[in-house]
Amino acid sequence: MHVVIMGCGRVGSTIAHILEDNGHSVAIIDRDPQAFRRLRAGFRGRRVTGIGFDRQVLQEAGIESAAAYVAVSSGDNSNIISARVARETFGVDNVVARIYDPRRAEVYQRLGIPTVATVRWTADQILRRILPEGAEPLWRDPTGQVILAEVAVNPAWIGTKVTDVEDAAGARVAFLNRMGEALVTKNDTVVQEGDVLHVIADENDMDRINKVLVAVPEESH
């Protein structure tokens, strides 16, 4: 398929190379012609200098035959405007916009534009690596309200059915990691030593859930 990318920074150039390596055609737009230096010497895609929400620039990039549009410039407003032009003017259904302010994500979602809040995602990944305990998000929906988090559990929960863990925590265990492999839980799944539980819940409820799971189960008192 043909993909148009706005923004030839580190993210845009990386996406362009990966897409090309997977056999797709790519056009990449940037207002700064020097930005194309990030593209490898053998890059075969189109390099288009201009603003990503300019219709002529988009047409030069082949937007009319594009199966997807990716807006990953350094400006939130430019990204969302260009994504809307790609969808509403040229009929590209598969669009995604990078944003730096996750508070805007809900607004963008209402406009039908999937977003990636890269700053928060990066922060979450760093926190997961430096904090030894507690719940840190592996994923969050674009509004930031629902998260999938890896949670620490007290060893006293070993031997307890996952369904009982869910009842005690008032949350859904999406899956667990056992000896390096992901396992979707069933009604008879029991927590074993070394299991890492992944809970999906409202972000505002995670502190309470974490406190329940790091404590000794009530029935063990």
Residues 70-82 pLDDT 10s: 999 988 889 989 9
- pLDDT under 70 in the chain at which residues? 102-103, 105-107, 109-112, 117-138, 142-144, 219-221
Q: So what's the pLDDT on residue 206? A: 85
pLDDT at 184: 94
The alpha carbon of residue 76 and the mean position of all alpha carbons in its chain are separated, in whole angstroms, by 16
**H/E element holding 200?**
strand 196-202
pLDDT at residue 221 in the model: 38
Give the orientation angle of helix 206-214 with respect to helix 162-169, to 10 degrees: 130
As a whole number of angstroms, the distance between CA 103 and CA 208 comes to 24
pLDDT of residue 177: 85
Which two three-digit tokens encode residue 80?
């969302």
**pLDDT of res. 99:** 80
**Which pLDDT value is given to residue 204?**
85
Q: What is the pLDDT of residue 89?
A: 94
3-state secondary structure (DSSP) of residue 157: helix
pLDDT at 169: 93
Claim: this prediction has a pTM higher than 0.85: no
Are 140 and 203 contacting, i.e. CB atoms less than 8 angstroms apart? yes
Residue 120 has a pLDDT of 57
pLDDT at res. 93: 85
Provide the pLDDT for residue 64: 96
Q: Which tokens hold the place of 212?
A: 């329940």
What H or E segment, with its residue span, contains residue 173?
Answer: strand 172-178
